[in-house]
């Protein structure tokens, strides 16, 4: 590969391109000189140029066979789901509340998880629970994930967890390890109130661990809302993907 072409983008003198704002682009040959590459005079970028370069760039992408649980696979967005199941969980609560039965000290034990939806993008890693252990559709309403260390916005608080460097199908295992194989240390601000019933989220996990439950009580999870307040319009898989695609 060598540098052959440059595309220059022009816009009004603002901090960012406003939605629907004016823009102009020109395409230029690049010539090699002893002092380095030099951009030659250009011409307006046309749709024919865009189609030509989009086709060439597509050829550089390696085709991947999508696993059955992958919902969206895009260079900037990866969405998949996992069914409900019992997993080995790791708890090391920094401030365990009084009255806990099983999670008073650093421990690992099997607990049930609800079905989950994961959304990995350049902006962060979103974690959400699903109302049923089945492949979701665009109309599926999302729930707050009970996994600790998750913000009300649904994004994971990474802390010292290693971050995957790539956004590919092969990175899915790394993202899942970040959720299911890291130590749960605390609920994030407001996260205790994302479940119904007495005791909050930590008490719920403690009850599940102490009773060796085999199924997570999904009905106790509240509908996902990043503001922490009830919404008139629920957040669905379709609306979330549309939002992430524009981010």
Is the Cβ–Cβ distance between 118 and 82 less than 8 Å?
Answer: yes
- pLDDT value at position 100? 94
**Are 208 and 111 in contact, with CB atoms under 8 Å apart?**
yes
pLDDT in tens, 71-82: 999 888 999 999
pLDDT per position as a tens digit, 8-20 = 988 887 665 555 5
Extract the runs of DSSP E, i.e. beta strands, from the chain: 5-10, 24-33, 36-44, 70-74, 77-82, 85-91, 107-113, 116-121, 124-129, 143-144, 183-184
Length of the chain: 247
Among 99-108, 153-162, 229-238, which range has the highest average pLDDT? 99-108
Helix (H) / strand (E) element for 4: namely none
Higher-pLDDT residue of 237 and 16 is: 237
Q: What is the model's pLDDT at position 177?
A: 95
76: region left, alpha or beta (phi > 0 left; psi from -120 to 50 alpha): alpha
The pLDDT value given to residue 185: 93
Name the nearest CA neighbour of 44 among 19, 25, 29, 72: 25
Top-confidence residue, 2 or 126:
126
* Predicted confidence (pLDDT) at residue 105 exceeds the cutoff of 90: yes
pLDDT at 61: 61
Geometric angle at alpha carbon 159, from 225 and 78, rounded to 5°: 55
Binned at pLDDT 50, 70 and 90, residue 144 comes out as: very high
Average of pLDDT values for 51-68?
A: 76
Average pLDDT over residues 233-247: 86
Q: Render pLDDT for 173-207 as a digit per residue (tens, 0 to 9).
A: 999 999 999 999 999 988 998 999 888 999 999 99
The pLDDT of residue 59 is 64
Q: Please report where in the chains the tokens 């099997």 appear, as a residue.
A: 110
Closest-CA residue to 101 (of 187, 206, 202): 206
CA dihedral 185→76→173→181, nearest 10 degrees, is 0
pLDDT for the residue 145: 97
Per DSSP, 189 falls in state: T
């Amino acid at each position: 590969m060598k540098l052959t072409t440059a595309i220059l983008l022009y816009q009004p003198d603002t901090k960012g391109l406003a939605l629907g704002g004016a823009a102009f682009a020109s395409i230029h040959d690049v010539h090699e000189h002893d002092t380095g590459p030099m951009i030659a005079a250009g011409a307006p970028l046309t749709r024919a140029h865009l189609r030509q370069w989009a086709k060439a760039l597509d050829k550089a992408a390696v085709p991947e066979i999508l696993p059955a649980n992958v919902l969206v696979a895009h260079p900037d967005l990866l969405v998949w789901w996992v069914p409900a199941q019992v997993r080995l969980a790791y708890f090391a609560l920094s401030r365990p509340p009084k009255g806990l039965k099983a999670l008073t000290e650093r421990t690992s034990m099997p607990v049930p998880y609800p079905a989950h939806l994961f959304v990995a993008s350049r902006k962060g890693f979103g974690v959400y629970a699903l109302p049923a252990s089945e492949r979701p559709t665009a109309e599926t309403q999302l729930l707050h994930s009970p996994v600790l260390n998750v913000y009300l916005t649904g994004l994971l608080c990474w802390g010292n967890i290693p971050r995957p460097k790539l956004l590919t199908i092969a990175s899915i295992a790394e993202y899942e390890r970040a959720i299911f194989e890291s130590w749960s240390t605390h609920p994030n601000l407001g996260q205790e109130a994302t479940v119904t019933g007495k005791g909050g989220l930590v008490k719920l996990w403690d009850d599940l661990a102490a009773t060796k439950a085999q199924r997570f009580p999904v009905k106790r999870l509240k509908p996902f809302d990043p503001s922490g307040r009830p919404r008139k319009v629920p957040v669905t898989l379709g609306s979330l993907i549309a939002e992430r695609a524009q981010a």
